[in-house]
Structure 1
């Protein structure tokens, strides 16, 4: 079977990879993390200009790609370069807009004129329980939202929010502009780089996206696209950690010989290589499932997330352990890759959540 990405996707991958290597290496990343903003808008804008966001969406929606493997290429390079920005939120929010035919908004995002994010996770109250869910009510010709969303990617930087909200007994999605009345954001840095925020809506004006109370399946497919993106980002990071660990084992000497000659470490490297290939297979399967749509997309995405959670944690731990103390230092890139890989394992549901989801979806198919 041919797993090549094709000429156009290879060109895109090369362009994004070269840009990140030239403009957003380890030194630039550390500088961005230490800045008051906590990320580099300049690097994000450069990736947008090269087509990183446009490749996520179809031509009909205002992009120039939109397939699962276009998403795979973009997020693979994001992983390799440890790029920071609202890429994941933009993808999922954009897929909701794409399904509703909201091309004007997507064109603004693809052109770099607006930042878009996805507010879908429930916020937590001070006691750790879920805060008030977001509810939508009719208000004249539009709607108003009340409630809270948590860990919204780049919430204080976003110009537009796609928000999941209860409308009656069903789910709807809404578009909210930054600075709208009743909208407040509490922003904070996240551990693996970049920013997020808790977003509160209080009678906040919002525009309905698509049909009211018809958003459940659309959101499921948007989240499936996000899981495919994470699978490919995680796979790319696993490749980097494997390669950096092999390089270190060849260079680091003990008793006058490279420690990579020690059989115990060779066995551990063999295990790492197998885990990387398993993650690759799961990522390919998730992309194929997304192309098929429906229940196949959801099951394949959950399967990939389970594989990534298990294998990614092992890769991160092994890379740190075989590098020794230096692997934990802030200045050393391995620690940043390992941290991001661990966090990917928890985004959009952890390994346990997706294992149960995979089982439940299988029961639904069999019923």
Structure 2
């Protein structure tokens, strides 16, 4: 029922043409569309009813993300409703109600280099009085230019216990944001922290426990992003199948060519297996969140590879026009490329899976 409702809403209100319109208008997402999503309870899908949420769980969040991926619907769903909501819920934050209402938009500022590596955080959180001063740069911050608040990981000490997670007002003095030109026409930004004040109330979890505080949000975000990539794969596959049934060559629809049928069938099988891995990750997060990293990394790695295959096949089977802006296939390819890197690429998650299998 949730999938059917989400698909009907997104097909009508957020088709791929809406992404094109957002891009041409210079906006990362439609605020009105996000308000409607929040009114339907999507912003509070992982938030308890005591804070105004729907509390439907990670499998439900994955279903919503899949359907958004299918139409390339742009929204702050992953950053706010999934990553921030999961991290702040685990920490017992009182800002969950604002997220559930769609009133507070969050961004996660964790990466500092070309690859996802939270444990290599170098950004400084210098103790000062009863608080800290944050100094450093964060890159590839999804929804960074639009967010009202930022979850930022910084180094507050030495050794394994030296990282702390902060919940900072995006308008705080010393914090500057510069939007990046993202190929998928989404909101990514570089954030510069120049002696930004952070108090003890801004700490999420415990001082020195930043990775532990961030873990629930990261796992949830990785699983939901895998779900979005799975939906994206199904979306470009559907677009491609439609084209194969319409395009004619040598007085025959090209879908009648056996070579293309084999390629389409292979892609269908890969999408089905990936969808199973994504569903499994959501269920493990719902029932055994502390033991979910293997399932989550498996889903993200597989979804990344399947999306790569899907968009390559989609563009190739469209022929040369697949790379032109007049057709939607290229939009799927661009989003797949960004999704492959965000929150850990294939190599990052494959290494986690390999390490877990050696245990």
Tell me how far apart the structure 1 counterparts of residues 247 and 211 of structure 2 sit (CA, whole Å): 53
Q: Residue 176 of structure 1: CA displacement?
A: 0.7
Match of 1:65 among 32, 46, 55: 55
1:22 equivalent in alignment to 2:17: no
Contact 2:174 2:196 in 1 (8 A): yes
The SS at the match of 1:197 is strand
Q: Residue 224 of structure 1: CA displacement?
A: 1.2
Q: How many residues align?
A: 348
Q: Residue 142 of structure 1: CA displacement?
A: 3.0
Alignment of 1:1-367 (within 5 A): 10=1, 12-90=2-80, 91-103=82-94, 105-123=95-113, 133-169=122-158, 170=161, 171-206=163-198, 207-293=202-288, 296-363=291-358, 366=359
Q: Residue 83 of structure 1: CA displacement?
A: 1.4
Higher RCO (C-alpha 8 Å, min separation 6): 2
Q: Residue 165 of structure 1: CA displacement?
A: 1.4
The SS at the match of 2:147 is coil
Distance change >3 Å, CA 271–CA 198, structure 1 → 2: same
Deviations 1:242-284 (A, max 9, x none): 2222221111122222111111111111111111111112112
- Structure 1 runs not aligned, ≥5 long: 1-9, 125-129
Tell me how far apart the structure 1 counterparts of residues 286 and 319 of structure 2 sit (CA, whole Å): 42
Q: Residue 17 of structure 1: CA displacement?
A: 2.6
Q: Residue 61 of structure 1: CA displacement?
A: 4.9
Distance change >3 Å, CA 189–CA 131, structure 1 → 2: farther
Tell me how far apart the structure 2 counterparts of residues 84 and 176 of structure 1 sit (CA, whole Å): 24
Q: Residue 15 of structure 1: CA displacement?
A: 3.5
Deviations 1:181-214 (A, max 9, x none): 1111111231112111111112212211222122
Contact 2:308 2:336 in 1 (8 A): yes
Tell me how far apart the structure 1 counterparts of residues 283 and 27 of structure 2 sit (CA, whole Å): 37
Tell me how far apart the structure 1 counterparts of residues 113 and 351 of structure 2 sit (CA, whole Å): 22
Tell me how far apart the structure 2 counterparts of residues 13 and 274 of structure 1 sit (CA, whole Å): 21
Tell me how far apart the structure 2 counterparts of residues 355 and 94 of structure 1 sit (CA, whole Å): 26
Distance change >3 Å, CA 193–CA 56, structure 1 → 2: farther
Q: Residue 123 of structure 1: CA displacement?
A: 4.7
The SS at the match of 2:26 is coil
Distance change >3 Å, CA 131–CA 186, structure 1 → 2: farther
Tell me how far apart the structure 1 counterparts of residues 121 and 241 of structure 2 sit (CA, whole Å): 49
The SS at the match of 1:85 is coil
Q: Residue 151 of structure 1: CA displacement?
A: 1.0
